[in-house]
Chain A
Amino acid sequence: MSRINEAEVRAEVREWLAANWDPDMSLVEWRSRLADSGWGMPQWPKEWYGRGLPHTLARVVEEELANVGAVGVAKSGVRLLAAATLLEHGSDPQKKKFLRRILTGEDTWCQFFSEPGSGSDLAGATTRADLKGDFWIINGQKVWTTSAHHADHGLLLARTDWDAPKHEGLSYFVIDVKQPGVDVQPLKQMNGHASFNQVFFTDAKVPQENLVGRVGEGWKVAMTTLAHERRGADGLASPSKRGTRVGKIHAEERVETEKANQPYTWYPQRAGRVDLILERAKETGANQDPYTRQEIAKLLILAKSAEWTARRARAAQQQGRPQGPEGSLGKLAASHVARGCSRVHTLITGTEAMLTGKGSARDGIIAEILVSVPAVSIAGGTDEIQRNIVAERVLGLPKEPRFDTGPFRNVRKN
């Protein structure tokens, strides 16, 4: 049955590509065709730029696109998180207004969730939205916002009811970022890069029709966004595969990818670069020192074990088995590996670890690793939060006693 479907889908998409694909079109023109044909997001519903195909067949479509070297719909940044959230909770006018321009890449998006006063405690948001006439008026501050400086729209979690319990007083909005009252500033990190923004809202206006879901359902809607984020729905396009392709479309796509990746230029260093440890040790001769050898071995054992633990989780999933505890531990393991790397890099580099920039170890890469590693155990939920989650959900330990119940107005905050 599904075999016949697969052949049919392949034939249909091939025929369509033969008639439509032309690498010398503009990127937007091509993606408009993709969106309207439903081949860009074949797993989406038919009425919203998709074809209602199961994921297995959507993969077949992707293969066929890749076979002719065609680029897909715009996927980088927060675009697909926004799309997934709107598909599930948005009104028809919202879907109509936003979805197509997400796919064509005409609009970029960002996410206003975290706040200076509520990092890991996302539901503790205190940015407020007050209804005045036809508009919600936004006041407050968001932080750790990726790409807000070039985003057109933002997904905003704001408090609309201060007398409801914490999780019930939030609402979810789409906000126009390029309007008065939205002040986007780069947030400089301790490693000197500014991969994120902080954003100040002063009487910024959101029309009523941009409320997503119902008033007070913001947390529920945000969980959809977060679930897609954890599943990696916004995986960055891989330019390496496409770097050699020629034609106007590809050139435009490369520019788009570079812009989307630009905040992440230091990300490859985040895990601490185990690979550089051995190269550096051989360069410096540190691999001859018995103590350093022991420390390198400990790190390699840790990194290998972490890699195999992830593979065990994937293998269990592929066999259709429920994931064991190994599936919940990736982030904690990565954080241990990163710290271990920092320690061993310092051991190998020695006194030179005090220097940065050109002329220092590996022209500053090692220094950058050393000052970037602390981010790993904080970003995406601190190690402490991860440990609580693992302890409560995997080991079944009793929950923390809570002191943030009752009206949010009365909850102690920063």
Chain B
Amino acid sequence: MSATPEAKPESARRIRFAFTDEQEQFRSAVRRFLEDKSPTTEVRRLMATSEGYDPEVWRLLSGDLALPGIHIPERYGGAGFGMVELGIVMEEFGRALLCAPFFSTAVLAANAILNAATEAQKSQLLPDLARGARLGTLAVTEPTGEWDPARITVIATPDGDGYRLDGTKSYVVDGHIADLVVVAARRPGSTGHTGLALFALTGKASGVERGALQSMDPTRKLARIDLRGARAELLGSLEAGAPPLVRTLDQAAIALANEMVGGAQALLDSAVKYSKLRVQFGREIGSFQAIKHKLADLLLEVELAKSAAYCAAQAAAVDDPEWPALASLAKAATSETYLHTAAECIQIHGGIGFTWDNDTHLWFKRAKSSEVFLGHPSYHRELLMQRWGI
């Protein structure tokens, strides 16, 4: 795979299996912020709004905490950290189920620009994303719902000093509110991974028609975007769009994997807590082996998934040649674990677990939508086998 912009010394290229003290402190700071700003009462309030986030909370997390630019180099206005720190943010957001356009802006749009754009474009576009002044997203999938870049059909036609985009994108995270949409499109007549490129499009440009989709997980808003001759700017060079797009999707898979292990841990904590409180047949239900063994197995599953998610982030941070394979590994491992943990958490809660009033369904829905978002586990398992040359 291509190297990161900055060449790293050999000692910094080894995968670490523990977080540093600074990283742990950073995690604590993010967690404290979320405990204060994103209790489930807030999650429930925001998921019912059409924007899906609280601009004041967004301002705070973009300001002092500087989270949207955590992994963006300092020369583009970011904090200059990497995939591991981004993973920590995602894990904590997943635990708290924060409603905010973070994944779309920081993970998808910013990484797409970092991977594809020219120096001048990065300097122009990234600082606003880093300080949360503009919201961004990435539009890859189309109404067929396929994640393989080879399936892209939106056409980019040269038009003066820019391009015109025609076609339809769907399942675009926060696509209804993004100020900047990075669109994956192809040269007319091209197929497969050739002829692909990424384009920067203003959300409110003419020829752009956006509509929020009714999504099963209301904490993560999705949109459909119809493009009819919408004017857009080419990011980087034409024809060379596939590698940066694939790289962006792999980074997104790792970020999502970390988000999912945070959610799985929150569900496990909730199930353990409930099993210590709930009394049936004269005993706390957590004293029954049927529940104990279920929870011990879930703990094992969640810890294994964490190992996969952390290891993929560490590998990407040091640009280990294996990291794209590990991105697929982590996505497949964590999405199955997340959904299974959610289902078991409902089961342990019994009837109450299936009610709207109980919070478990909030994570269940995130788990269900994350299972297919960026590609089903079976898609990533096949990708893993190909990437390992099996």
Contacts and interface: CB of A to CB of B under 8 A. Distances in A.
Nearest to B314: A308
Interface string B276-309: 1000000110110101110111011001111110
A391 B310 contact: no
Contact of B311 (A308, A332, A392): A308
B148 to A, nearest CB: 16
B385 A296 contact: yes
A387 B286 CA distance: 12
The B interface is mostly helix, strand or loop, or mixed, namely: helix
B293 A387 contact: yes
Given A302-B304, A305-B304, A395-B296, A315 B16 contact: yes
Contact of A391 (B293, B303, B304, B332): B293
A308 B385 contact: no
Interface in A264-309: 278, 281-282, 287, 290, 293-294, 296-298, 300-302, 304-306, 308-309
A298 B311 CA distance: 17
A311 interface: yes
A392 B304 CA distance: 20
B305 A384 contact: no
B390 A296 contact: yes
The A interface is mostly helix, strand or loop, or mixed, namely: helix
Scoring A278, A325, A395 by chain B CB atoms within 10 A of each residue's CB, the highest score goes to A395
Interface residues of A, number: 48
B303 A309 contact: yes
Contacts of A311: 17, 307
A397 B381 contact: no
A319 interface: yes
B303 A325 contact: yes
B287 A401 contact: yes
Nearest to A330: B300
Interface in A205-245: none
A342 to B, nearest CB: 18
Interface of A: 278, 281-282, 287, 290, 293-294, 296-298, 300-302, 304-306, 308-309, 311-312, 314-316, 318-319, 321, 324-326, 329, 332-333, 336, 384, 386-388, 390-392, 394-401
24 contacts: A293-B382, A297-B332, A297-B384, A297-B385, A301-B332, A301-B333, A308-B307, A312-B17, A314-B17, A315-B18, A319-B18, A329-B299, A332-B297, A386-B296, A387-B292, A387-B293, A388-B289, A388-B292, A391-B286, A392-B292, A395-B299, A397-B275, A397-B286, A398-B286
What 5 A-B pairs are tightest by C-beta distance, nearest first? A297-B381, A391-B292, A315-B17, A315-B18, A308-B307
